[in-house]
Amino acid sequence: MIEGILIGLTTALTFQNILMVMVGCFFGTIIGMLPGLGPMTAIALMIPITYGFDPATGLILMAGVYYGAVFGGSTSSILLNAPGVPGTVATSFDGYPMAQQGKAGKALAIAAWSSFAGGTLSAIYLLFMAPSLSKVSLSFRSPDYFALMILGLTAIAAFSSKGQFLKAMMMVVLGLMLASVGQDSLSDITRFTFNNMNLTDGISFVLVVMATFAMSEALTIILKRNDPTSAAKQVSLTELGSIKINKEERTKMYKTIPRSSVVGFLIGVLPGAGATIASFLAYGMERNVVSDEEKEKFGKGSVNGLSAPETANNAACSGSFVPMLTLGIPGSGTTAVMLGALLGFGVQPGPRLYMTNPEIFWSIIMSMYIGMVILLILNLPLIPYIARILAVPKNYLIPLILFFSVTGIYVMSFNNFDIYLMIGIAVVATFLRLYDFPMPPLILAFVLGGLMEENLRRSLLLSNGSWEFLWDRTLTACILATTILIVVWHIYKTFKRKN
């Protein structure tokens, strides 16, 4: 492991990579801060830029964007009560009341320190857990992978908004259907191309991400411009107050941060869960463990109430890298985008990644530490200035997002058809978003579609067409049983709600 850490440090500490972490954190913070735009949009917009780099540098840049976006989201939660990303919704519960009391600077500082501590602690957990899990996952076979992918897709649907399980499952199927367009990987037979040569190679992953996130986010913002429910009340962005944290507040944070980081990391590791669930769980847990006196302060500007979700959401970000790096199965929509980008670089994440491409594996882990330090250095002193970015008019922001989206596709294919297809998918996605159809399950399914078919093919061929492979191995059967439980439980809940 020491050798790996050194390899990681050597790669991560090059001038170019440090610069990329800085750029990523800065860009991510800005994008994450803007309500409605989350880490997936930020990473999607970065993909064209990463084409110019080697895989390690590209992924380091995207990891920086990820952390930056999660941190940036907390800034708009605290100052505007308009979370930039779902993972920072819980931050607004106590962050915004604190800002209303004239302590916006302090709230931002608590959020910055908690994010830093949560991210750093979870990077340590990742350091120890990832290699061991990689070794364990070497024993995984095709049926296990197939079952695990089904579980991941079901779990991301189950953890989407309350009561939206079936909508999320429909999006999963749609994602898999989109992934099935083009040549079959083994026989080269074309499927669903309708004799259109542009579809022979399938639909590009970047195109789908840009369309369903960047472009449709931009269209949704314009569409809902006059929606009174989306208008946010504003805290003064010029007078944020002191950013100093006193001794009493620090003592509270010392207790909250370790437990919230563990919760965040473990939730992040679970396929389909992520920063949002982690932050809510940490917030709920914190409210249960603090004294009655402190409990009263929750929702009115509690230090514990702010620190817990901020620690957990950053810890979950690191946690979500575990299944992606060790199993090659992304745990969240954001890591699905990163996985897609990695596949685009020709790198196959999975148990062998840390043997075949140790520089990528370890440099990502090492860059997390560097990213956390940079985020802290970047965000603490720059808080008053960064906060003003929230005032960027949408008249400029939206066209720029559309421009980045089209550029991403243009530099990739130099093809008009791809641009039209992207616009078409974006329009459909915008309409679906209006009715709460979640997009992350679609992306996850799109990324996993090819791998899933491949593993199903191998499993069925090995078992001579029999579906017994699903219960032949205990591990496969356990994973599948969990999946069935999730599906049955959600359908049962829908019935119960009616009655």
Residue among 18, 222, 245, 380 that touches another protein (CB under 8 A)? 222
Positions 45 through 104 that interact with another protein (CB under 8 A)? 48-49, 51-53
- Which class for 474: exposed (0-12), middle (13-18), buried (19 or more C-beta within 10 A)? exposed
**Any bridge partners for residue 183, and if so which?**
190
- The pattern of x and - marking residues 383 through 402 that bind another protein according to CB under 8 A reads ----------xxxx-xxx-x
Tell me which stretch binds another protein (CB under 8 A): 164-172, 246-254, 307-315, 383-391. Answer: 164-172
Tell me how crowded residue 161 is: count the other CB atoms within 10 A of its CB. Answer: 13
Select 366 or 470, whichever has its Cβ closest to another protein.
Answer: 470
* 420 lies in the site for another protein, by CB under 8 A: yes
Select 6 or 19, whichever has its Cβ closest to another protein.
Answer: 19
State in angstroms the smallest separation of the CB of 119 from another protein: 28
As separate numbers, helices (DSSP H) first and strands (DSSP E) second, the chain gives 23, 2
CA gap 251, 133 in Å, rounded: 34
State in angstroms the smallest separation of the CB of 155 from another protein: 16
For 127-170, the DSSP string reads HHHHHHHHHHHTT--HHHHHHHHHHHHHHHHHTSSTT-HHHHHH
Positions 359 through 388 that interact with another protein (CB under 8 A)? none
Residue among 3, 139, 197, 227 that touches another protein (CB under 8 A)? 227
* 15 lies in the site for another protein, by CB under 8 A: no
Positions 465 through 494 that interact with another protein (CB under 8 A)? 465, 491, 494
CB neighbour list of residue 122: distance below 8 Å, 6 or more residues apart: 261, 264, 265, 268, 314, 315, 316, 317, 318, 319
Positions 424 through 453 that interact with another protein (CB under 8 A)? 427, 430, 432, 434-437, 452-453
Positions 302 through 361 that interact with another protein (CB under 8 A)? none
Select 206 or 322, whichever has its Cβ closest to another protein.
Answer: 206
Give the CB-side neighbour count of residue 249, counting CA atoms within 13 A: 18
* 245 lies in the site for another protein, by CB under 8 A: no
Asked whether the beta carbons of 377 and 383 are under 8 A apart, the reply is no
Positions 37 through 56 that interact with another protein (CB under 8 A)? 48-49, 51-53
State in angstroms the smallest separation of the CB of 58 from another protein: 11
Which amino acid makes up residue 265?
A: F
- The pattern of x and - marking residues 176 through 205 that bind another protein according to CB under 8 A reads xx--x---x-xx-x-xx-------------
CA gap 76, 84 in Å, rounded: 6
Select 158 or 267, whichever has its Cβ closest to another protein.
Answer: 158
Write down the H helix ranges in 332-439.
Answer: 333-344, 353-356, 358-386, 394-413, 416-434
